[in-house]
Chains A and B, each alone.
Chain A
Amino acid sequence: MDFALAKEHEMARQLFKDFAENEVKPLAQEVDETERFPRETVDKMAKYGFLGIPVPKEYGGQGADILTYAMCVEELSKVCGTTGVIVSAHTSLCIDPILTFGTEEQKQKYVVPLAKGEKLGAFGLTEPGAGTDAQGQQTKAVLDGDEWVLNGSKCFITNGKEADVYIVIAVTGKIEKRGKTQKEISAFIVEKGTPGFTFGTKENKMGIRGSSTYELIFTDCRIPKDNLLGAKGKGFGIAMHTLDGGRIGIAAQALGLAEGALETTIAYVKERKQFGRAIGAFQNTQFQLADMATKVEAAKLLVYKAALKKDEYMKNPKTSYSFEAAQAKLYAAEVAMEVTTKAVQLHGGYGYIREYDVERMMRDAKITEIYEGTSEVQRMVISASLLK
């Protein structure tokens, strides 16, 4: 067992760190304050290949691996949670399912421009009545000649209005399973600009405020028959597979937020003086930092382990990374919330002020315990694996 990073991973980390410091950090506060999608950053990330990191070169990607992708999301999130999730949703939730389940034609048509960053991706599963309970789906897709006709809506969609390609999960019929009637669920690829596909409310969020979170509305939206992703009726499995991968991205985002808050706090407690000395000289501060750093390191090991497990899956699809991804996401998200909250506390009154980064980091951290499967869902996944 070797905890040292390979040369390529060390170099990639330095690249992401430099990019985050120079290009992302200067915008983070303004992006949050004004709820502005950082399009110029997305364009720069496209130029440098950040939007197709784990995608094979033959499909327009960088031919790197999942660990490199996770480190990219981590380093971006250290300075801006919004930018981290843009890359995560695009890569894990849109490119990955097409790469895994798409036909060669679909990969050429969609993965190539997505991986090159010419197009941005999103994923629509959640509905007002179907979050954790994916069977609660109401959006329907009906085959009419050579076209599927979509009706319904999706909510809380990351990269919502800014994306060009969307994976949309919809009900295509009913099936009998173990004597019960269940919804048959399928996955589709929908392009922005398709007649009948519009956007609803933009969500006004607590954190990741620069991320474009929208409702997607489908009203007699007709898409080509060929835009069915995977086999008809396999949509639930596709969605669950997609979320397994997405959880590694969100775990990396949470890890980055925790690391960013810790680094910011270490610098602050060396500067801030009370009772004639730096607050870092007080044992309470020291013990808090020790706990924060230890938890961050434990989270990092879980996140990297999950990423390496998915890398193993890419070479051997018989392996599974669902368990590791759930553990990484559960732990990193809870550590992010705890560490950012402590970071605000150690900053005292200043930590509560918008001008200080830890205030934003604490708001950004909360969502990592909720989206792409709440912490409770992660516990369900982990325990189900333990008790099977």
Chain B
Amino acid sequence: MKIIVCIKQVPDTKGGVKFNPDGTLDRGAMLAIMNPDDKAGLEAALRLKDQYGAEVTVLTMGLPKATDVLREAMAMGADKGVLVTDRVLGGADTWATSTTIAGAIRNLEYDMIITGRQAIDGDTAQVGPQIAEHLGIPVISYAQDIKVDGSKVIVQRQYDDRYHVLEAQMPCLITALSELNDPRYMTPGGIFDACKAEITTWGRADLKDVEDCNLGLKGSPTKIAKASDKVRKGAGEKVAPESPEEAVEYIVGKLLEKHVI
């Protein structure tokens, strides 16, 4: 079985988000980490490798320093790393990104592609399903459990208060939730091997069956007008009713006012 895991290097939002004066993210001022949903996807792939035997290739699109997440993934147990990097690919939105990644994946053999549900820097959850659309393969999103049965995958898809069980014929694409598992740590030996390993680097010329008009900033239909940190909730309204009856009356009044009831 051959599995491709798409991973993304994202700013670590634990320490807060920092912006440039023009409103774009100041990535240089924030620590870079592997996107948590992608890490869970990688762990799922490594568990399938442990259980069934598989070759796991990690693929990322980004600046040359994105090799850091590829090496981290390889130190966890991935077999190969592919970096897609080119100036003309910069400024891509989800459409241009998924076009690029699909163009890279067309060079590779695969039975399964795993992506994270969404990246913590964009929160769109679009790239995974779009890659599947470009490649013409089935997609199962929001996976909380993945099993392989012959040439099929059986996936539990998270859905509000329950989950759906879906089957798909491979090759297919699955998007993973960070709740899927607890990703393993790297190993010291894995780190030493990963730092010596060769990373395959591809540019625009290596992308298969893609058109320039669908790449980079020019190929991105989405335009970002403004980016901001999460808007903090207001302090709310504090009331001190005299009796339970008065409290109930107040709450019901508010619910009616907001058309909740």
A residues at B contact (CB < 8 Å): 6-8, 11-12, 15, 18-19, 48-50, 53, 57, 61-64, 68, 72
Given the interface pairs A7-B71, A11-B72, A11-B75, the reply to whether A61 lies near B191 with Cβ below 8 Å is no
B residues within 8 A CB of A68?
Answer: 188, 192
Check B191–A48 contact: CB distance below 8 A: no
State the Cβ distance, A307 to closest chain B Cβ, in Å: 14
Q: In chain A, what residue has the closest Cβ to B187?
A: A49
Cα A8 to Cα B75 in complex, Å, equals 10
Which label, helix, strand, loop or mixed, suits the secondary structure of the A interface? helix
Check A61–B186 contact: CB distance below 8 A: no
Q: Which of B108-152 contact A (CB under 8 A)?
A: none
Check A64–B189 contact: CB distance below 8 A: yes
A residues within 8 A CB of B195?
Answer: 6-8, 11
B residues within 8 A CB of A49?
Answer: 187-190
Q: Is B185 an interface residue (CB 8 A)?
A: yes
Given the interface pairs A7-B71, A11-B71, A11-B75, the reply to whether A63 lies near B192 with Cβ below 8 Å is yes
State the Cβ distance, A273 to closest chain B Cβ, in Å: 24
B residues at A contact (CB < 8 Å): 71-72, 75, 184-195
Q: In chain A, what residue has the closest Cβ to B191?
A: A11
Which label, helix, strand, loop or mixed, suits the secondary structure of the B interface? helix
With a 10 A CB-CB cut-off, give which of A12, A57, A63 has the most chain B CB atoms. Answer: A12
Check B192–A48 contact: CB distance below 8 A: no
Listed by A's residue number, 19 A-B pairs whose Cβ atoms lie within 8 Å are A6-B195, A8-B192, A12-B188, A12-B191, A15-B75, A15-B187, A15-B191, A18-B185, A48-B185, A48-B186, A48-B187, A49-B190, A62-B187, A62-B189, A63-B189, A63-B192, A64-B189, A68-B188, A68-B192
A residues within 8 A CB of B191?
Answer: 8, 11-12, 15, 64
The 8 A-B pairs with the shortest beta carbon distances in the complex, nearest first, are A62-B189, A49-B187, A8-B195, A64-B188, A62-B188, A11-B191, A15-B186, A53-B188
A residues within 8 A CB of B71?
Answer: 7, 11
Partner of B186, one of A6, A11, A57, A63: A11
Q: In chain B, what residue has the closest Cβ to A8?
A: B195
Cα A11 to Cα B191 in complex, Å, equals 7
Cα A64 to Cα B188 in complex, Å, equals 7
Cα A61 to Cα B187 in complex, Å, equals 11
A residues within 8 A CB of B192?
Answer: 8, 62-64, 68
Cα A263 to Cα B47 in complex, Å, equals 37
Q: In chain B, what residue has the closest Cβ to A18?
A: B185
Cα A19 to Cα B183 in complex, Å, equals 12
Q: In chain B, what residue has the closest Cβ to A44?
A: B185
B residues within 8 A CB of A72?
Answer: 188
Q: In chain A, what residue has the closest Cβ to B67?
A: A7
A residues within 8 A CB of B190?
Answer: 49
A residues within 8 A CB of B194?
Answer: 11
State the Cβ distance, B47 to closest chain A Cβ, in Å: 14
With a 10 A CB-CB cut-off, give which of B72, B185, B188, B189 has the most chain A CB atoms. Answer: B188
Cα A19 to Cα B185 in complex, Å, equals 8
Cα A49 to Cα B184 in complex, Å, equals 12
Cα A169 to Cα B39 in complex, Å, equals 48
Cα A53 to Cα B190 in complex, Å, equals 11
B residues within 8 A CB of A57?
Answer: 189
State the Cβ distance, A77 to closest chain B Cβ, in Å: 17
State the Cβ distance, B13 to closest chain A Cβ, in Å: 17
State the Cβ distance, A51 to closest chain B Cβ, in Å: 10
State the Cβ distance, B61 to closest chain A Cβ, in Å: 21
Cα A81 to Cα B190 in complex, Å, equals 26
Given contacts A8-B191, A19-B185, A63-B192, 15 further A-B contacts (CB under 8 A): A11-B72, A11-B191, A12-B188, A12-B191, A15-B75, A15-B186, A15-B187, A18-B185, A48-B188, A49-B188, A49-B189, A50-B188, A53-B188, A62-B188, A68-B192
State the Cβ distance, B16 to closest chain A Cβ, in Å: 17
Given the interface pairs A7-B71, A7-B195, A8-B195, the reply to whether A15 lies near B189 with Cβ below 8 Å is no
A residues within 8 A CB of B75?
Answer: 11, 15
Cα A50 to Cα B189 in complex, Å, equals 9
Cα A50 to Cα B186 in complex, Å, equals 11
Cα A7 to Cα B197 in complex, Å, equals 13
